[in-house]
Every structure is written in structure tokens, then in C-alpha cells.
Amino acid sequence: MKFNAKFAAALSALALAASAAAAEQVKVGMITTLSGGGAGLGIDVRDGFLLALKQAGASDVEMIIEDDQRKPDVAVQLSDKMIQSDKVDIMTGIIWSNLAMAVAPGAVKQGKFYLSPNAGPSALAGKGCDKNYFNVAWQNDNLHEAAGAYANSAGYEKSFILAPNYPAGKDALTGYKRFFEGDYAGEVYTKLGQTDYAAEIAQIRASGADSVFFFLPGGMGIAFMKQYAQSGVDIPLIGPAFSFDQGILQAVGDAALGVKNTSQWSKDIDNETNKAFVASFQEEYGRLPSLYASQGFDTANLMLSALKVAQPSDADAFRAALETADFASTRGDFKFGPNHHPIQDIYVREVIKEGDVFTNKIVGVALEDHGDAYAAECKM
């Protein structure tokens, strides 16, 4: 019996060692935008993700991080390398929906898990959903739907709406129109990456609109806001958080003060996880976190919560652990809908100035426990 007990103990030790060895093999491929226009968004997703790994002491996770340069062909090349040569288990990081559409479907078809920390195109939420695709941020329409709901409550009756001509831009205007109950003074799709909005602002001025809803992320939003303020047009602006996020606000300055925007995250959400995240991110990187940083942080913590239960090699068990979403989110309550997209509150924020820093404060809730319009089309 003594021999058997020792043998059993040895087997147990070997099993633990094998488990530890397996854990050390988890590879995460992050493809995100780290240069050129929109680099700040990718940098924030990366930094939030890495902060979560550092805080968890996740030495069992190997990160491979590459810059997609905001080019779909580059993103596809990087994805092929990560899957075929680097043998990653999990992929994440993409900011832009056109890049997500180029990479995510192929990755999940090859058996990889894709955890989106940002882009949430409608095509991947509905008929194009996949059991190995999870969006930890939102479905693209969501914040725009909330903006439409806010516009109703603010009493606006005639909106001018504009967004870039790419998947997320189309989802943006679709989302706003799904909830806004008024009429439209104009609807314009701009070029992706456009920096001169003189023609669009002239259209707005002449339109008779009582409100302007726009979705222009990154440098596009900075250029539009500055030019809009300089134009003297005083029609109120409404936007999603992407155009009024922490990194953008400093570049826009006073032109953004007082503007209402919608977001599922804000630095003043009152829960312990969010308070600790804001403080630790600021200490680690010397700046306030953005929406994108919070999404990177939450994506990493979702992944880590699933890795406590199973390895990606046990796909069914790992997938079930992801679906449970047993982690402390910066947003507080967090759960997935049947298409692996969040169900969550979406807030109305107002741009304010705290000392020398432009930031946002929550002034209301636009939509509670909000899912997305495409879940019913998803057949996993």
C-alpha cells in the first residue's frame, strides 16, 4: 500500500507538472494598430491588456504583438504568420471593423479563439457569428443606438448624421436610426481617414438640423471637432465615446466641452474594479485610461478567468469558461448574449475639464441591460 500511495503521489505530481507545462504553452497573438492614424487606440488596448497580465502575474501567457498599420492586407499576413508559424492559441487586438472582417472569420475557421477588444461588426454578431468568436466591447451599433435614445430624451427632432464609409460607419448610422424617433436633415458617409470636413460642415449649416450625430474615431474626430468649433456652427453635437475618449479630448480641447456622448465605460463608474483599474493604469503609464484601455483590460481578464478552468486545447471547456464570463469587469455587471456579444448598460457622458485635463463624467443611463439587434440571426 505504501508503494501504491507513493506511486499515486508521483502520478499526481506528474499530472500537475504536465498541467503547468501545458499552461506555459498558451500563446496569444495580438494584431492591433500601433502606428499611423488611430495608433493611440491600439496602444491603449495593448497597454490595458498587458496591465491585466502583469497584475495577475500571468507568466503562463506568451504574447506576440504586431502592428497592422491599419491595413487589411497587413493584418491578414500577420494573422497567417501567427496561426501557421507561431501556432498561437488565442487571437485579439484588432481595432477597425474592416480589419476584423479580414482576419476573424479565417482565424475561427482554423480553430483559433478570437476575443475582440473593440471592433464589433454586425456581420459577426448575426449570421456570421461563430462559437469561437467573442466580443468583449460591444456590437458596433450599440453606442450609436444609445445616442439615438438620448437624442429622443433631449427633445431633438431633426438630426444630421455622418460617419466614415466602412463597416463600423454603416453600423453607426444604422444604430442611431434604429432608436432615434425624429427626422433627418441629412445623411453623409465620409472617406475613411478624411481630415478636411469643410464641405460636410457647410451642409450641416444649411440643413436646418437641430442636432448633429457623428461617428468619426481617432484623428478623424479630432479634425472634425476642431473645424466644427472654428466654423461657428452652434448646432449641438452628439456622438459615441469613440469621438470623445480620453486620448482624443486632449487634442480637441475646449471645442468638446459640454458635448454629450454615449459609452459602456467611464472612469467614474462606481465599482472597486474600475477604481483600481483607473488608478493602476495611471500609475503604470502616466495617463488616464481610455475606453479602449478598459476594453483591453477586460479582454485579458476574461481570458485569464477561462484559463483558470481550461486550456484552449480543450476547446469545449475553454469556450464554456469564456461564456461564463466569471471575471470582475471595469463595467461592473458583465454577461454575454447568445451570440457572444455583451449585454450591458450604456451611459450618457458629458465632456468636462478637471484642472488641466479634459475628461468625461456620467450624467445618465441611455440604455439598461442592452444587447444587440443581430443576436436572433446567430445560429451557432
Domain that holds residue 50: 24-138+265-336
Residue among 194, 80, 78, 169 at smallest CA distance from 119? 169
**What is the per-residue pLDDT for 239?**
94
Q: In terms of domains, do 294 and 156 share one?
A: no
Residue 136 has pLDDT above 80, yes or no: yes
206: domain CATH number is 3.40.50.2300
Residue 63 has pLDDT above 90, yes or no: yes
Q: In terms of domains, do 235 and 146 share one?
A: yes
Q: Has residue 19 been placed in a domain?
A: no
Q: Are 137 and 94 in contact (CB under 8 A)?
A: no
- Averaged pLDDT score across all residues of the chain: 93
Mean pLDDT of 119-146: 96
Q: In terms of domains, do 44 and 188 share one?
A: no
**What is the per-residue pLDDT for 251?**
87
SS3 state of residue 125: helix
Q: In terms of domains, do 304 and 165 share one?
A: no
- Contacts of residue 312, Cβ cutoff 8 Å, sequence gap at least 6: 26, 89, 90, 113, 318
Provide the residue type at 134 as one letter: F
Q: In terms of domains, do 210 and 273 share one?
A: no
Q: Are 116 and 94 in contact (CB under 8 A)?
A: yes
Count: domains in the chain: 2
**What is the per-residue pLDDT for 24?**
58
Q: In terms of domains, do 270 and 252 share one?
A: no
Mean pLDDT of 85-89: 97
**What is the per-residue pLDDT for 218?**
80
**Residue-wise pLDDT tens digits, 218-269:** 889 999 999 999 999 999 999 999 888 888 898 899 999 999 999 999 999 9
Distance CA 299, CA 270 (A): 20
Q: Has residue 13 been placed in a domain?
A: no
**Residue-wise pLDDT tens digits, 265-306:** 999 999 999 999 999 999 999 999 999 999 999 999 999 999
- In 3-state terms the chain splits into helix, strand, coil percentages (rounded to 5) of 45, 20, 30
Distance CA 215, CA 242 (A): 7
Q: In terms of domains, do 229 and 355 share one?
A: yes
Q: Has residue 1 been placed in a domain?
A: no
Q: In terms of domains, do 242 and 170 share one?
A: yes
Q: Has residue 121 been placed in a domain?
A: yes
**What is the per-residue pLDDT for 368?**
96
Distance CA 343, CA 91 (A): 22
Q: Has residue 276 been placed in a domain?
A: yes
Q: In terms of domains, do 272 and 220 share one?
A: no
Residue 10 has pLDDT above 60, yes or no: no
